[in-house]
Structure 1
Amino acid sequence: MTRIDFYVLNSNQIEARRQFACRLAYKAWEQNRQVYLHCADEAEAASIDELLWSFRADSFLPHALHPDQPNETVVCGWGDDPTPHHDLLINLSNDTPEFFSRFNRLAEILVEHDPILTPARERFRFYRKRGYPLKTHQIRIAG
């Protein structure tokens, strides 16, 4: 069964959400895990793709856009089919990905911004009602 972690950042900035997603993807990559960053649309995936090139000045995170290179260890995608990924899903969309249950782990990253929190509360209830193991992490962002 998919383990679901909600990371609630003490920020109202969307950019903090994206930065944290990149850090989480990097940490997972260091542990030899596959990562699928699920975005709301192609524009957001392109934005995350750009950020993954530059979020760390001291190292590089190999990654690609899913439609271009689906077999890369870390990919940014949107839409319905994350094949061949099934390890870590980082959800940056405001919807419940239809394919979330095929992943070992799902990370929901939230900031204190109503357009992000309101649909996240619905997703939390959806997962809880179906019996998924849920854990919430309060994350303090410096600054």
Structure 2
Amino acid sequence: MPRADFYLIDKPRFREQPLLLVCELARKAHASGQPTLILARDQAQAEALDDLLWAFDPDEYLPHQIAGQDEDEDEAPVLIAPPEIDAPLRPLLINLRDDPPQGAFERVLEVVPAEPAARGPLRTRWKHYQALGFALNKYDM
């Protein structure tokens, strides 16, 4: 059964820098050997995430790249896809866009902003996944 996990931003460090939570989720996925596709909201967010993945843990390198920049991107454990690049889906997705991903995947991670006003699209996505028969989980981070 496919799964959708919603991570609600709560801790101050994630409130200040929400992309840090994305880095933590990508690190966990990589540690468990799951190739991950991050669906970035736009090119600027993809680049910010690329920079942060280089710097967020000085003791560990998380292999990653932005889709559409290299021929060997299929081998990158963490691939960041801006909307204009049509990257093939992977079993594990981290979705930062307003729309739910379409296609076949096993698990999607949704990062929920701290501001209640920004949570509307996520309620819609929760209902979307529920209607598709996904197992749903919610975590406070």
- TM exceeds 0.5? yes
Percent identity over the alignment is 30
| 1:49 positional shift | 0.7
TM-score, normalized by length of structure 1? 0.84
What residue is the counterpart of 1:92 in the other structure? Answer: 96
Cα separation, 2, equivalents of 1:2 and 1:86? 13
**1:50 aligned counterpart, secondary structure:** helix
What residue is the counterpart of 1:123 in the other structure? Answer: 125
Cα separation, 2, equivalents of 1:124 and 1:137? 13
Question: Structure 2: which 5+ runs fail to align?
Answer: none
| 1:14 positional shift | 5.7
Cα separation, 2, equivalents of 1:47 and 1:17? 11
What residue is the counterpart of 2:138 in the other structure? Answer: 136
- Equivalent of 1:105, from 104, 107, 120? 107
What residue is the counterpart of 1:45 in the other structure? Answer: 46
- Equivalent of 2:87, from 59, 70, 82? 82
| 1:64 positional shift | 0.4
**2:110 aligned counterpart, secondary structure:** strand
| 1:95 positional shift | 1.9
Question: Structure 1: which 5+ runs fail to align?
Answer: none
Bigger mean CA deviation after superposition, 109-118 or 15-24: 109-118
| 1:11 positional shift | 4.9
Amino acid at match of 2:45: E
Cα separation, 1, equivalents of 2:125 and 2:68? 26
Cα separation, 1, equivalents of 2:91 and 2:17? 24
Bigger mean CA deviation after superposition, 43-52 or 85-94: 85-94
CA 1:119–1:51: 2 relative to 1, 3 Å: same
TM-score, normalized by length of structure 2? 0.86
Superposed CA RMSD in Å reads 1.9
